[in-house]
Amino acid sequence: MSSLDAVLARIDADLDASLDRLFELLRIPSISTDSAYAADSRRAAQWVAENLRGIGFDDASPRETGGHPAVVGHAPKPGKPHVLFYGHYDVQPVDPLSEWHVPPFEPRLITAEDGRRMIVARGACDDKGQLMTFVEACRAWKAVTGSLPIGITMLIEGAEESGSQFLPEFLEANRDDLGADVALVCDTGMWDPETPSINVSLRGMCYEEIVIRCADRDLHSGVFGGAAANPVRVLARIIADLHDADGRITLPGFYEGVHETPTQILDQWRALGLTEEAFLGIVGLKHSIGEKGRMLIEQIQSRPTCDVNGIWGGYAGEGTKTVIAGEAGAKISFRLVGDQDPAKVSQAFEAFVKARVPADCSVTFIHHKGSKAIQLPYDMPALTQARSALTDEWGKAPVMIGSGGSIPIVGDFKRTLGLDSLLIGFGLDDDRVHSPNEKYDLTSFHKGTRSWARVLAALAS
Amino acid sequence: MSSLDAVLARIDADLDASLDRLFELLRIPSISTDSAYAADSRRAAQWVAENLRGIGFDDASPRETGGHPAVVGHAPKPGKPHVLFYGHYDVQPVDPLSEWHVPPFEPRLITAEDGRRMIVARGACDDKGQLMTFVEACRAWKAVTGSLPIGITMLIEGAEESGSQFLPEFLEANRDDLGADVALVCDTGMWDPETPSINVSLRGMCYEEIVIRCADRDLHSGVFGGAAANPVRVLARIIADLHDADGRITLPGFYEGVHETPTQILDQWRALGLTEEAFLGIVGLKHSIGEKGRMLIEQIQSRPTCDVNGIWGGYAGEGTKTVIAGEAGAKISFRLVGDQDPAKVSQAFEAFVKARVPADCSVTFIHHKGSKAIQLPYDMPALTQARSALTDEWGKAPVMIGSGGSIPIVGDFKRTLGLDSLLIGFGLDDDRVHSPNEKYDLTSFHKGTRSWARVLAALAS
């Protein structure tokens, strides 16, 4: 039997051990946005490095970045193409903890009522489960053939969920060390449980935080109510004004650089027949509140958005408190497409906010990291090879779609290393990524590992 | 010298001991809105009862109400008028704790840069400091003359800051036991540090809490952004819509029962010359955001208002989280005047909110206690007597003003006991009531005590 068949057989036989390894990683609470977990991030980096050293990446080790360490390791293969694989070992915060049915860092294999078996834990999908599909595929190739079919450099970072703040510098400083022909990224999803997909576009991001300060202290609404500015009301006005009645964003100049999707792609998307019931039904909703006159798939993939990710101000405890807060804040982010410039959006937002803050009040801005959207060339050779590999595994050609989420690193790869990125992932819409009870189907993990084994073979040919 | 002069001299001589007693009460964290402090409320009630028994209220004891206990004690005086004195021993929560310069329940006597001496602690003014001015006045009368000049029933409750939920029933059940000619209430403020005031009107209250539920879980804004309803955006729309461009409240029928203030009262108010600089400058603001075309004093005393007292939803922690919250909530309260009906306002608000919640989302309402506004007769005999007593103490006639805050109990006294209430208090606008670093000027405490001694004498004549 061919090497590939032997490798696939090995993956099937080794599944339980593969799961044990994934669970070890999932038990480490490597939350990158919260500095209280910095030590756990280092533990996770050490774990990844040790694991890679065991499968041919002899020099794998955590590297200092200025933030959480990034793990880098090399397995060269002279005369063969060389790829840079990217994943991240950090995860999102777990709040609200009370909504978890199992402790977020005690992974379980659970069988759903419909018989689907799923791995439940923070990071089960995003991105520990996904990155381990590639690691386990490499492990099988190494075990069966003694080496990997192509040259691979591993880059597993620890701050993706907090904006990969230090990674651009790190890429810059290690440009030669990270050189490759193409990048492979496993941080995206399938079209549906039967249909693999390859992401050819990613929305960018502009993430802003504002704190409105009115009075210099909290006030009694009985004494000052009716006269004193209320920062929550100021925030509400700003947020309400950000969209018009048609769901379009009202920031002046916001749609500059937003291009229309080619008709033939729109036709392919239309053929997918994505309905509001199917997409929103999973999370208990029925109707899209998105931009009027656009297909749902456009609203979530190729159109820019604005959302409030958090708001706070005044008394949120039990019972009543007749207070007017001195200060209130919100986190507001924009998903960008085409050639929208995050810096311009950030400036437009700042002006938009300032115009709505009373003269005797003040506003503080935190401009979190922004990133441009990405569009990959449809004719990449690696893309063609990967499509046939995925077709072999799933018995169905992958759809070429856009991702609503942003993976800033892909832009950095292009800018700094000159690399296009092949975005292949096995997450599902109901994986509850970033939410309580995040899960990853056992099928995603198992067939995901098999898929990567096939992609490696295809890229070697 | 007259009994009154002797009593006043006694008050002056006993000031330090009076302060010690107040500090004992201030050290008890009797926060009524938070059930974690229930035991402290009982301790505070016990402390008040013991204190009252020492000054002629021989039967003073905590009474069960269904919530925190209310302290009741009697000191009859046959042939003399009988008053019901009301105060509350409970206090507001202390958050944000980090903004306190001293621990909120370790009272300090602090000298400000301008030489003013002030008592700093949660409850220093509202209402422990205020109720103790009356208690200490009684103590002095008892010490000097062996008895009180008029008959007095004490009613010191423990749940005013959480809406006095159980008090109406309690009044109903103890109607005979609480009978009197008039009620005295010490929970209001002075016009300015030199000018005493008597409150002849109180704004009512309608306090609502709403929780908007959209998706059945928190969502990744990359996956669902652009399509999924966001409860924070729903809240923002509701809050923004509650006021028009002129600062008027847009609830249908809201202004039903709002009466214009008589011209001669408006003239008196105009003569007080309250400016935005003077009133709002204290808290770091310059301009009123209130109803256009109204004097500031109207905006804060005789006009109804709507304020957001708290809002929450999504991620409020450090850094960024690209989440769309499943749920978000807000506490919104209305200050009512004239004959506005809290129940009607509550219904109008519920309809207003429901009309702005998407069909596939849901809203939960918590209707907290409401109260009608109060307007006292200008020709009350007790009012005339109290005015002359205050004029003697302060060398200046008290102004007759309205209070922006609501004291539901005053309405209950009228409804249940048929009593008008004389509202006299010594708080100042900069007392930071309900805020960090709440204080009570030593002058307010000392001259407040002297004022009550004089009022008791005036009511006896």
Residue A413: CATH number of its domain? 3.40.630.10
Q: Tell me if B179 is assigned to some domain.
A: yes
pLDDT at A403: 78
Which residue type does B376 have? Answer: L
Tell me: pLDDT of B260 over 80.
Answer: yes
- Separation between Cα atoms, residue A84 and residue A125, nearest integer Å: 21
Tell me phi and psi for residue B99, to 5 degrees: -90, -5
**Same domain, residue pair A378 and A389:** yes
**Same domain, residue pair A246 and A105:** no
Dihedral sign for Cα A270, A394, A129, A99, please.
Answer: positive
**Same domain, residue pair A185 and A222:** no
Indicate the SS3 state at residue B287. Answer: coil
**Same domain, residue pair A132 and A154:** yes
Interface test with A, best of B320, B365, B369 (most A CBs within 10 A): B320
- Grade residue B379 by pLDDT with cuts at 50, 70 and 90: confident
Q: What is the mean pLDDT of residues B297-314?
A: 95
Alpha helices in B395-441 (DSSP H): 408-412
Answer whether A333 sits within 8 Å of B311, measured CB to CB. Answer: no
Chain A residue at shortest CA distance from B232: A308
- B335 has which bridge partners? B205, B305
List pLDDT tens digits, range A341-394. 999 999 999 999 999 999 999 999 999 978 888 887 777 899 999 999 999 999
From B451, B427, B424, select the one nearest B439 (Cα to Cα). B427
From A207, A230, A189, select the one nearest A399 (Cα to Cα). A189
- B328 has which bridge partners? B212, B313
pTM of the model: 0.73
- Separation between Cα atoms, residue B368 and residue B370, nearest integer Å: 6
H/E stretch holding B456: helix B442-460
Q: Tell me if B430 is assigned to some domain.
A: yes
Tell me phi and psi for residue A41, to 5 degrees: -60, -40
- Separation between Cα atoms, residue A443 and residue A449, nearest integer Å: 10
**Same domain, residue pair A70 and A183:** yes
Angle, helices A128-145/A3-13, rounded to nearest 10 degrees? 130
Alpha carbon of A285: minimum distance to chain B alpha carbons (Å): 6
**Same domain, residue pair A312 and A415:** no
- Chain A CB contacts of B359 under 8 Å are 286-287
- Separation between Cα atoms, residue B188 and residue B190, nearest integer Å: 7
**Same domain, residue pair B122 and B144:** yes
Chain B residue at shortest CA distance from A237: B240
Number of independent structural domains in chain B:
2
Average pLDDT, chain A: 94
CATH number at residue B325: 3.30.70.360
List pLDDT tens digits, range B170-193. 999 999 999 999 999 999 999 889
- Chain B CB contacts of A239 under 8 Å are 232-233, 236, 240
Q: Tell me if A286 is assigned to some domain.
A: no
Quote the tokens at residue A352: 């938009």
- Contact by Cβ (8 Å): A432, A228: no
Q: What is the mean pLDDT of residues B21-32?
A: 98
**Same domain, residue pair A88 and A32:** yes
**Same domain, residue pair A217 and A314:** yes
Of B317, B337, B367, which residue constitutes the final position of a domain?
A: B367
Q: How many CA atoms lie within 13 A of A6 on its CB side?
A: 10
Q: Tell me if B164 is assigned to some domain.
A: yes
pLDDT at B267: 86
**Same domain, residue pair B165 and B253:** no
List pLDDT tens digits, range B214-245. 999 999 998 899 999 999 999 999 999 999 99
Of B316, B342, B367, which residue constitutes the final position of a domain?
A: B367
List pLDDT tens digits, range A64-112. 999 999 999 999 999 999 999 999 999 999 999 999 999 999 999 999 9
Q: Tell me if A278 is assigned to some domain.
A: no
Quote the tokens at residue B325: 């919250």
Alpha carbon of A7: minimum distance to chain B alpha carbons (Å): 33
CB pairs under 8 A between A and B: 360
- Chain B CB contacts of A282 under 8 Å are none
Q: Tell me if B317 is assigned to some domain.
A: yes
pLDDT at B103: 96
Q: What is the mean pLDDT of residues A174-194?
A: 94
- Grade residue B309 by pLDDT with cuts at 50, 70 and 90: very high
Q: Calculate what percentage of chain B has a pLDDT beyond 90.
A: 85
Q: Tell me if A45 is assigned to some domain.
A: yes
List pLDDT tens digits, range B268-301. 789 889 999 999 999 999 999 999 999 999 999 8
Q: Tell me if A344 is assigned to some domain.
A: yes
**Same domain, residue pair B99 and B11:** yes
- Contact by Cβ (8 Å): B223, A433: yes
Q: Which residue shows structure tokens 């400091």?
A: B129
pLDDT at A262: 82
DSSP characters over B324-374: E-SEEEEEEEEEE-TT--HHHHHHHHHHHHHTTS-TTSEEEEEEEEEE--E
pLDDT at B300: 92
Tell me: pLDDT of A60 over 90.
Answer: yes
Q: What is the mean pLDDT of residues B118-131?
A: 98
- Separation between Cα atoms, residue A207 and residue B319, nearest integer Å: 10
H/E stretch holding A219: strand A219-220
Alpha carbon of B374: minimum distance to chain A alpha carbons (Å): 14
Q: Calculate what percentage of chain A has a pLDDT beyond 70.
A: 100
Cα–Cα distances in Å, from A408 out to A132, A175, A342, A433, B247? 21, 17, 12, 18, 43
Instruction: List the domain range (segments joined by +) for residue A71.
Output: 3-202+373-460
Of B328, B348, B367, which residue constitutes the final position of a domain?
A: B367
From B73, B80, B79, select the one nearest B153 (Cα to Cα). B73
pLDDT at A131: 98
Tell me: pLDDT of B47 over 90.
Answer: yes
**Same domain, residue pair B243 and B308:** yes
Which residue type does A397 have? Answer: A
- Contact by Cβ (8 Å): B427, B407: no
Tell me phi and psi for residue A50, to 5 degrees: -60, -45
pLDDT at B202: 86
